Amino acid sequence: MSKMTHTGTIKTIVDQVAQVVIDDNLDCAACSIKGSCSVINSNKDILKINVDKTGFKTGEKVEIIMSSQMAFFALFWAYIFPFIILISGVIVLSFYVDEGIAGLISILILIIYYLMLFLYRKYFNKRFNLKIKHL
C-alpha cells in the first residue's frame, strides 16, 4: 500500500492530541493528487493527530503518514460526492422547476450535506487516523 507523507512541527500537545503545523513539502511537486490536496494549498495548515505516550515534544519535527486509500476516501467525501450531488440535483430538479431554482435548491442540498459532514466529524476523525513518527 502506498503512503503519502508530509513533514511538520508539533505546535502543542494536549490530552494526547498533537497539533502539527504542516511545513512546506517539496515532495508535493511529484504527487499525483497535488491539485486537489489541501495540504499543498496552504502553507500553515494545522492537523490534530492522536498520539500515544511515545515521547513527542512541542517543537519537534515529525513526519505525518497517510495511506493513499485514506487520501482517496477524503477526496471522495470532500469533492467528488458533493459534485455528484450538485450535478444530479440540478439535472433532476430542472425537470420539475426552473433551472435557476433548481440550482439554488441544489446549493441548499450541498449546504445540508456539508452540515451533515460537520455533525459527523467524530466519525470521520476516527476514520482518518493519521500517523506520526519522529524524524
Residues 75-100 pLDDT 10s: 899 999 999 999 999 999 999 999 99
Can you tell me the distance from the alpha carbon of 77 to that of 74, in angstroms, rounded to the nearest whole number? Answer: 5
Can you tell me the distance from the alpha carbon of 94 to that of 78, in angstroms, rounded to the nearest whole number? Answer: 25
| 26 Cβ contact list (under 8 Å, min separation 6) | none
Q: Is 96 helix (H, G, I), strand (E, B) or coil?
A: coil
Average pLDDT value for residue range 31-49:
64
pLDDT at 107 over 70: yes
- Residue with the bigger pLDDT between 34 and 62: it is 62
pLDDT at 71 over 70: yes
Q: Is 62 exposed, middle or buried (0-12, 13-18, 19+ CB in 10 A)?
A: buried
pLDDT score at 45: 77
pLDDT score at 31: 66
pLDDT at 110 over 70: yes
Of the listed ranges 40-44, 63-67, 88-92, the least confidently predicted one is 40-44
